[in-house]
């Protein structure tokens, strides 16, 4: 999660002209959804996760949090 979040921040200059703040927020929400589903189904006891799924959802979570945060930041602050 942290590695891909930091990588997303570092690669901002390459994608700054591609994503506007609104699109960044939408992508952030979409990328956070699998982690919410994974955590929710584990919490209510429907299943148990494995390491591959945790790495995948952690990667999506790291990128999603950064996209959502910077989208909100650039939409409201700048």
For the whole prediction, is pTM greater than 0.75?
A: yes
List the domain range (segments joined by +) for residue 36: 2-76
Question: Which residues lie below 8 Å from residue 36, measured CB to CB, with a gap of 6+?
Answer: none
pLDDT in tens, 7-45: 888 888 887 778 888 899 999 999 999 999 999 999 999
Counting the structural domains of the chain, the total is: 1
Sign of CA dihedral 27, 72, 1, 4: positive
What pLDDT is attached to residue 31? 95
């Amino acid at each position: 999660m942290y590695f891909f979040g930091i990588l997303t921040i570092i690669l901002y200059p390459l994608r700054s002209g591609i994503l506007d703040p609104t699109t960044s927020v939408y992508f952030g929400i979409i990328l956070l959804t699998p982690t919410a589903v994974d955590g929710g189904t584990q919490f209510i006891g429907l299943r148990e996760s494995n390491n591959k799924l945790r790495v995948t959802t952690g990667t999506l979570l790291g990128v999603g949090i950064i996209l959502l945060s910077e989208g909100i930041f650039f939409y409201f602050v700048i």
